A and B are shown apart, each in its own frame.
Chain A
Amino acid sequence: MQSAKRLLPVLAMGMMLLFACQPSGAAEPIRIGVAGPFTGSDASFGEQFWRGAEQAATDLNAAGGVLGRPIQLIKADDACEPKQASAVASRLVDRDKVVAVAGHFCSSTTMTASTTYADAGVLMITPGSTNPQITERQLPTLFRMCGRDDQQGVVGADFVVKKLKATHVAVLHDKTTYGQGLADAMKTRLHSLGQTEVLYEGLTRGEKDFNALVTKLKSIQADAVYFGGYHSEAGPLVRQMREQGMTAPLVSGDGIFSEVLVVSAGGPGFLKGVYMTFGADPRKIATGKALVERFRQNGYEPEGYTLYSYATIQTIAAAIQATQSQEGEKLAQWLHGHPVETVMGPKAWDAKGDLQVSDYVMYQWDDKGKYQEVE
C-alpha cells in the first residue's frame, strides 16, 4: 500500500515528462494532406494515391525532410462523394492546418473541395482529376499533376482515325464526371476530324454484364470502340466483346492504366487490341527506375497514379524548399513560374495550373497482359 502511494507521483512525473518531451524531440512537422477515395467503390485508386505519397514522404524524410523538418501526411478519405470531400477539405484546412493537399482523385470531389482550399489559400495539386472544367475556373492555388481529358481525347481520336483507320467509331462512357468528360472530348475531336460516332452511350458503373451493349456494337458494325471509364468496367466490356467474336480495338484513357485490367478482364488473353492513352510511362524515365524497383521490392507494382502522387509530394516539397514559405499563394506563384524536377521528369505549369506539356502517348496491350508504347 505504502509503496503504491509512493509510486504514484513518480508515475505521474514520468507521464508528464513523456508528454513534454514529445514535441521538442523532433522539429514541428510539415503537414500535407492526401485526399482521395480510400473507401467506397473507387478505393483501388485511393490505394495508389496513398502508396505513392507515403513512399515520397518516407524518401524525403530520410533525406532530411523539408526546411529541416519532417513531412507528415494526413490521410483524408472522401469516398468519391462531393459531400464528404467538402467536409474533409475544411477539416484538413482548419483542424490539421495542412500546408498543401495532394488530391483529390474523382473530378467531382476535386470540384467541390477546391473552393474550400482556394478560400483558405491552401495549395492543392490533384494527381488524377482530368476533367477540363477543374482548371477552367482559374483558382489561383489549384494545379494538376496530370493532363486534361480534352488532351487525352485528342490523342485518342487522332489515333483511332489516323492509325486505326476506323470509320465506324462507337463512343462509350461510364456516366462519371471523368468518363463522360473523356468521351465528350473524344466526340468533339472526332467531329473536327470530319467523323461522326456511330454510337454514343453510357453504361452503368458497377455492373459486369455488358453483353446487350456488345451485341448492339456488333449490329452497328463498329470497327473501333472508345471507352471513357475505369478498368473495372473496361475489363468485362472487352472480354464480352471478344467472347462474342468482336475483334474491333478498344481504346480508352488513363482510367484503365493498371495491370488490374488483366484481372478485371478475367485473363490476359482478352486484351489483344486494347489501347490506352497515358502520360509517358514514368516507370521508364531514368529518374523513376530506382524508385520503381524499391516499390517492387515491397511487393507493390507502382502503376496508375502511384508515381503521380509521388511526384505531387515532391513538387509540394520543392516549392516549400524554394520559397521558404508555407503560404499557399506564395507556393502557387512560385510553381506558376518554375519547373520542378520530379520522378516523372521535369514538370511546368501554365497560368491555369495545367501542365504546360501534355505528354499523352498511346499504349497497346498484348495477350500476355503487358503494355507498351505504340510507335
Chain B
Amino acid sequence: MDITIFGQQCVNGLVLGSTYGLIAVGYTMVYGIIGMINFAHGEIYMISAYLTAIFLALFTTVGIHSLPVVLLGVLVLTMLFTALYGWSVERIAYRPLRHSNRLAPLISAIGISLILQNYIRISQGARNQGVPPVLEGVFRLPPDSLDHRFVQITYLQSLIVVVALVSMAILTWIIQHTALGRACRATQQDRIMANLLGVNTDRIISTVFVMGAAMAAVAGFLVTLNYGSFDFYIGFLMGIKAFTAAVLGGIGSLPGAMLGGVVLGLAESFFAGFVNSDYKDVFAFSLLILFLIFRPSGFLGVPEVEKV
C-alpha cells in the first residue's frame, strides 16, 4: 500500500477526530457534572455554525477585511452568543427539572433540540448555507510532488488540530488549577456537600453548560470555515458522533473526550478508506458497543467501583 495514502488517511482522521473531540467536550462536561446526557448539544453546535456565517457576513458588510481581525472577532462573537444559547438551554430545560426523575431532562432536551432545529429552519430558511472560502492554502509533503503522491493538510485543517489541542489544554488547566475548576470538581463529586460548603452549584452547572457551548462554538466556527457549508440539520449526526467519541474516551474525562474523538475519527477514516464507506457508521457503533461491554469506562474514564 502506498505510504502517502496511509498518511493522508491519518491526517483525515485526525482532523475529523479533532472536531468530534471539541464537541464531545460539551457532552463529557455536562455528563460529568450532572450525570445527564445533553441531547441538545448537537443543535448548539449547529447554532454556532449559523452564527459564524452571520458574523462573517456582518464583518464583510461593515467593511472590516483584515483577516486576523475578522477571524478573531467572529470566533469571539460566536463563542459569546453560542454560550448564551447554552446557558438558556440549561435554564429552560434542565434547571426546572433538577430534582425530578432522571429521564425528564432527557425529554425536555430532545424537545429543545426540536425547537432549535425548527427555529433555525423558519428564521434562516431550509436551504444550505455557507461561508466563502477563507485562509486557503495547503502544506504538502513532499512539497513539490507532481504525481499526486503526497500527504497534505490545509491551513484550516491544521488550525483545527492546533486549536483543538490548545483549547483542550486551556480547559484542562481551568478545571485542574483554578478556583472555578475546583468548584466544578467539588460539584461533580457531591453536589449537596459542595452546596453546603458555599459553592453555588446552580451557577457552576450553568458555567459548565456555557463552557461546553463555547467549545461547541469553537468547533462550529472551525468546521464551518473548513467545509464551507452547513444546514439546520447538521447538529443531529454530529451530536451522535461526538457523543460516541465522549463515551469511547471515557465520559466525564476531558482529555478522554479528545482522545475518543481522535480515535473515532481515525477509525472512521481508515474504515471508509480501506474497507467500505457504506458500513463506516456500523463499524463506529459496533466499536462503541464492544468497547462499552469490555471497558465501560472508556480509555481514560475512572472505572466505576461497585460500592456495596
* A and B: bona fide binding partners: yes
What is the interface of chain A, defined by CB distance below 8 A to chain B? Answer: 39-41, 43-44, 46-47, 175, 201-204, 206-209, 211-213, 215-216, 218-219, 231-232, 235-236, 239, 243-246, 260, 263-267, 269
Q: Which residues of chain A are near B16, meaning CB under 8 Å?
A: 209, 211-212
Q: Which residues of chain A are near B148, meaning CB under 8 Å?
A: 218, 245-246
A239: nearest residue on chain B (CB-CB)? B228
Please choose the segment from B87-95, B126-134, B208-216 that sits at the chain A interface, where 4 or more of its residues have CB less than 8 A away.
Answer: B126-134
Please choose the segment from B33-41, B165-173, B272-280 that sits at the chain A interface, where 4 or more of its residues have CB less than 8 A away.
Answer: B272-280
B108 at the interface (CB under 8 A from A): no
Cross-interface CB contact of A263 among B9, B129, B281, cutoff 8 Å: B129
Q: Which residues of chain B are near A231, meaning CB under 8 Å?
A: 128
A51 → chain B, closest Cβ, in Å? 11
Q: A216 and B272: CB pair below 8 A?
A: yes
Q: B269 and A41: CB pair below 8 A?
A: no
Count of A-B contacts with CB under 8 A?
Answer: 124
What is the interface of chain B, defined by CB distance below 8 A to chain A? Answer: 2, 5, 8-9, 12-13, 15-16, 19, 118, 121, 125-133, 138, 148, 150, 152, 154, 223, 227-234, 236-237, 268-270, 272-274, 276-278, 280-281
Q: A232 and B229: CB pair below 8 A?
A: yes
Assess A269 versus B273: contact at CB under 8 Å? Given A39-B121, A208-B230, A212-B12: no
Q: Which residues of chain B are near A207, meaning CB under 8 Å?
A: 237
Assess A245 versus B152: contact at CB under 8 Å? Given A44-B231, A212-B277, A267-B228: yes
Cross-interface CB contact of B130 among A47, A175, A266, cutoff 8 Å: A266
Q: A212 and B236: CB pair below 8 A?
A: no
B183 → chain A, closest Cβ, in Å? 37
Q: B128 and A260: CB pair below 8 A?
A: yes
B116 → chain A, closest Cβ, in Å? 13
Q: Which residues of chain A are near B229, meaning CB under 8 Å?
A: 208, 232, 235-236, 263-266
Best-buried of B2, B19, B127, B277 by chain A (most CB within 10 Å): B127
CA distance A219 to B272 in the complex (A): 13
Q: B272 and A263: CB pair below 8 A?
A: no
CA distance A206 to B240 in the complex (A): 12
CA distance A40 to B228 in the complex (A): 21
CA distance A239 to B156 in the complex (A): 14
B220 → chain A, closest Cβ, in Å? 12
Assess A269 versus B227: contact at CB under 8 Å? Given A212-B268, A264-B128: no
B118: nearest residue on chain A (CB-CB)? A39
Assess A219 versus B5: contact at CB under 8 Å? Given A211-B12, A212-B268: yes
A207: nearest residue on chain B (CB-CB)? B237
* 14 A–B pairs (Cβ distance < 8 Å), ordered by A: A39-B118, A40-B233, A44-B126, A203-B277, A204-B237, A208-B223, A212-B12, A213-B273, A218-B8, A219-B5, A236-B228, A236-B229, A263-B130, A265-B130
